[in-house]
Structure 1
Amino acid sequence: MPLLFFSRRFLIFSTVIPFLISIALYQLDTFDPSHLPADALLYSTTSIPPLINNQLLTGAEFIGVGLLNKPEDIAYDIDSGLIYTGCVDGWVKRVKVMESVNDSVVEDWVNTGGRPLGLAFGLHGEVIVADAYKGLLNISDDGKKTELLTDEAEGVRFNLTDAVAVVDNGVLYFTDASYKYDYSQSSFDFLEGKPHGRLMSFDPTTRTTRVLLKDLYFANGVSMSPDQTHLVFCETPIRRCSKYYIKEERVEVFIQSLPGYPDNIRYDGDGHYWIAMPTGVTTLLKLSMKYPVWRKVTAMAAKWGFNLMFAEDAGVLQVDLEGKPIALYHDRKITHLTTGIKIGEYLYCGSLLHSRILRLHFLKYPAHKSL
C-alpha cells in the first residue's frame, strides 16, 4: 500500500501538476497567433523545377571563412569585380573573389552601427543599404559618407528594413518586413502569422517616402524587372512572390507554393531570378503554419531559449521571367541560405547562420533532370 500511494503521488507531481501549470502559462501568455490565408497552406508540385541538384554542399567552396559574420545579402559590382555584403556585426564588407577561394581578400568597408541586410547600387556608384535597425542608408564617396535617407512612412517607423532595389530613374523600392517586431524578434513575426510588412518607395529627388503596399506577410526580398515595369517581392511565411506593376500600381502573383520559405530574390541579367530559401517545408513547419496553437507553443518555448523551429534543406530556386521554375539547388544538410546570386559560372550564397559565403560552380556541379 505505501508503494501504491507513492506511485500515485509521483504521478501527480510528475505529470498532472506540470500539465496544469503549462495550461495556466499558455492561457496567461499574450502572444496571439492567427490563421494564415488558405492558399498559404497549399503544397503543390507546380513550383518544383525539372532540374535539381540536391547536394549543394558537394563541391561547394567557402569564401571569407571566419571573416564574414553572417553575410545576409550579396551585391556584385561588375565594374570593380567586388562583392559587397552586410554582416551581423554592422560591417558592410567588400570581397575580392579570386579563382582560388583561399586567395580571396575581405575588406572591412563601412560599419553602419546596425544590421545591414539588403544591398543595391545607386546610379552614381553609391551603395544603398536596407539596415534592419537604422532604415534606408546611402553610402557614398567610397565609404566616407553615410546618409540616412528614410526611416519612417505615414508616421510609422520602420522596424525591420529588409531589402532594396533601384530603378533607372533613381527611385528606390524597399521592404519593411515588420513594423511590429525588430530584427532580434523576427521569428515572432513569422510565428504570429499577421501581416505587418510593407512595400515602399523613396524618391531621392523629392525626398518622399511612399507606402505602395501594406498588410504583407513578412515582406522580404525585392528585385527590379529587366524592363523596369515592375518589381518582384517575396512574402516569407506564405511562400509567395508577387509582381508589383509600378505605373498601374497593381499586384499579381509571380510564383506561389514554393518548396521553401523565400528570403532574397535576385535578377541575374540573363533572364532569370534566383530565390533563396533559408529552409524547406519541413513537417514541423507544416504543422506550425496550419495550427496557430503550435505556433504559440513554439513562441513560448523561444522566450525560454528553446528553438522548436528546426530549419533544414535550404536552397536556391531559379525561375524565368514569368515565374516558371527552372532549377533548384538545395541540400538537406544546410540551412539559412538567404541570398543566391549568379556571377559568371558560379552561384554565390549568403547566410544568416554561417560566417562565410558559399560558392558553387554551375558547370562542374549542375542540376539534372529529376527522376
Structure 2
Amino acid sequence: MVPPPPSVNFRPSKCVNFWKALIIVTAVLTSLVGISIYFNDEFEPVVYRLPQPPALKGPLKPNNYLRNAQLLLKGKISGPESLVVEKDGKNTIIYTGTWDGKLLKIANGVVKKTLKIRPGKKSYACGGSYHTEPKCGRPLGIRRLNEKEFIVAEAYSGLYSVDFENGVVTQIFSTEILIENKKCNFANDLDILDILNGTSSFTVFLSHSSTRWDRRRFLHDFLEGKSTGRLLRIDFETIHKPQASVALEGLAFANGVQLHPDGETLLVSECSRARILRYHHSGPKKGQYSVFIKNLPGFPDNIRLSSSGQSFFVGMASVRHSEQFISFIDFLGRYPWIRWGIVQLVPQQYLASLLTLFSQKYGLVLELDLTGKIIRSYHDPTGTVVQGVSQASDDGNFLYLGSFHADFIAKVPMKGG
C-alpha cells in the first residue's frame, strides 16, 4: 500500500502573491529592454477568463492510484504521446509514436518494431529537439484503421498510414492542403469513423489545434488566448483520395478526439479552456455542438473510450484546482500585456519550459460516464511518479498512460489505489 502523500503548504494566496511579483518583474524588464529587443509582432494576446477551478472532492478526491505505476521502458523512449493498447492472448501490445519521430510496437514492455514517421531522415539528427522536430516529425494521435494499418497524425506534415508488420509508412493527407483557405499547421489527435459497407471508404476527424502556431509553439497559443483551433473532417473515398472540410472552428486549442458510442456524436477537448465539447457528426442534429463537461480540474489532452465501452478516460496535461494551486493559464487570463511581455523576453525554444517551471507537479486522469459526469479519478498528488498525462487507455485491468514529455509509459493497476 502506498503511504499518503505529504502535506502541501502551497496556498492560493501565496500563489497570487507570486504571480503579482512576476507581473511586476516582467513589467520592469519589458520597459528596460523594450527598445532594444526584437518584438514578435505576430503575437496578439487577448483577455480570456476561466471559471474558478473546482475543488478536489467527491469523485475528484485525491488518491494514490498513479503512484502505483510500473514505468515501462524507463529512459528508453521519449514522449509517447498517444497509445493504442491491444490484447493478443496473454500479451499486451502497445503502439505509439515518440518525440524523436519514431513509431513503436511494444509487446509486454519490450520494443519489437521501430519505424520512422519520416523514413528519409537520418536517425542521428532526430533527437526530439526544438530544431529537429519539424524535420524529423512528431507523431501524435494514433488509431487502428484495419487489421493491417494504423492512421497516425504527424504534427507538421499530416496523416500517415502505418503498416508495422511490413514496415511501410505512407503519407495519405498533407498539411499543405488548404482547408477553407488555411493549412492544417498543427495536426494533433484523431478518431476514425467505421469503414463503410465493407469498402475502403472511411472518415477521419482530426483536431487542428491552432491556425496560428505550430506544435513547437503550443504555449504561444495558450498565452495568446485566441480560439483558432478547428475540428477537421477528412473523407477518404479511398486511402489516396481525401476530401477535407471544417466541422467546427473557433476552438481553444483543439486536442483529444473520441467518437461517442451513440454513433452520432464525438468529443473534442478544448484544452486551454479546461472543457470538452460534444459534436454531432450525423443524425438530426448534424453540425451542432454542446458542452459535454466544463471547468475540469486540469487541461484535457486525449480522450479514449474505456475497454468496457461505458466510460471515457481523459488525461490531464496539467492541473488546476482550488485547494493548492492557481495555474498560470488561469491567472494570466486577465493580463494580456504580461503574456505579451513574456513572449518578447523568452526565446521561443525555451518558452515551453515555462509550462514545467510554473506547473504543479501532479498526475491526474479522469474517468467520465457517457453523459459527461466524472465518476472516478486517478491521482499522483506529488507528481513524483506520474505527471503531465497526455492519454490514458485501459485493457480492463491496467491503465496505460502516455505523456508528451516523459521517458516511459506508465502501467497502473485499476484497483488498489
| Shared fold, TM over 0.5 | yes
The correspondence for 1:311, drawn from 359, 364, 369, is 359
The correspondence for 1:66, drawn from 75, 94, 111, is 75
Letter in 1 for 2:262: D
Secondary structure at the aligned position of 1:319 is classed as: strand
2:392 aligned partner:
340
CA deviations over 1:115-168 (Å, ceiling 9, x no partner): 100010103431100110120111137343222222232342211110010111
Q: How does 1:40-189 map to 2 (within 5 A)?
A: 40-45=50-55, 49-50=58-59, 52-79=61-88, 81-97=92-108, 104-113=109-118, 114-140=137-163, 142-150=165-173, 151=175, 152=177, 153-169=179-195, 170-189=202-221
CA deviations over 1:47-66 (Å, ceiling 9, x no partner): 96525443344221100112
Residue segments in structure 2 that go unaligned for 5+ positions in a row: 1-26, 119-136, 196-201
Letter in 2 for 1:331: D
1:268 aligned partner:
306
**Once the 2 structures are TM-superposed, how far is the Cα of residue 86 of structure 1 from its aligned partner?**
0.8
1:288 aligned partner:
332
Stretch moving more, 201-210 or 113-122: 201-210
2:269 aligned partner:
234
2:225 aligned partner:
193
Which protein shows a greater Rg? Answer: 1
| Identical residues among aligned pairs (%) | 28
**Once the 2 structures are TM-superposed, how far is the Cα of residue 332 of structure 1 from its aligned partner?**
3.7
**Once the 2 structures are TM-superposed, how far is the Cα of residue 81 of structure 1 from its aligned partner?**
3.6
CA distance in 2, matches of 1:311, 1:69: 20
**Once the 2 structures are TM-superposed, how far is the Cα of residue 289 of structure 1 from its aligned partner?**
2.7
CA deviations over 1:198-245 (Å, ceiling 9, x no partner): 101122215211211112111000001113211101011101101111
RMSD: 2.6
Do the aligned partners of residues 25 and 175 (structure 1) sit closer, same or farther apart at CA in structure 2, a change above 3 Å counting?
farther
Letter in 2 for 1:311: S
Letter in 1 for 2:233: S
CA distance in 2, matches of 1:17, 1:235: 33
Q: TM-score by structure 1 length? A: 0.85
Q: Is the 8 A contact 1:348 1:358 kept in 2?
A: yes
Do the aligned partners of residues 296 and 52 (structure 1) sit closer, same or farther apart at CA in structure 2, a change above 3 Å counting?
same
Q: Is the 8 A contact 1:91 1:108 kept in 2?
A: no
CA distance in 2, matches of 1:156, 1:200: 11
CA distance in 1, matches of 2:29, 2:251: 38
Secondary structure at the aligned position of 2:103 is classed as: strand
Q: Is the 8 A contact 2:66 2:363 kept in 1?
A: no
CA deviations over 1:56-80 (Å, ceiling 9, x no partner): 4422110011222110111123457
* Residues 1:214 and 2:249 aligned together: yes
CA distance in 2, matches of 1:187, 1:140: 33
CA distance in 2, matches of 1:327, 1:17: 45
**Once the 2 structures are TM-superposed, how far is the Cα of residue 83 of structure 1 from its aligned partner?**
0.6
Residue segments in structure 1 that go unaligned for 5+ positions in a row: 1-15, 98-103, 366-371
Do the aligned partners of residues 187 and 124 (structure 1) sit closer, same or farther apart at CA in structure 2, a change above 3 Å counting?
same
Stretch moving more, 204-213 or 146-155: 146-155
Secondary structure at the aligned position of 2:80 is classed as: coil
CA distance in 1, matches of 2:37, 2:331: 18
Do the aligned partners of residues 302 and 333 (structure 1) sit closer, same or farther apart at CA in structure 2, a change above 3 Å counting?
farther
The correspondence for 2:316, drawn from 270, 277, 295, is 277
Q: Is the 8 A contact 2:229 2:250 kept in 1?
A: yes
CA distance in 2, matches of 1:42, 1:333: 22
The correspondence for 1:225, drawn from 257, 260, 267, is 260
1:368 aligned partner:
none
CA distance in 1, matches of 2:37, 2:252: 25
* Residues 1:361 and 2:408 aligned together: no
Do the aligned partners of residues 249 and 332 (structure 1) sit closer, same or farther apart at CA in structure 2, a change above 3 Å counting?
same
Secondary structure at the aligned position of 2:165 is classed as: helix
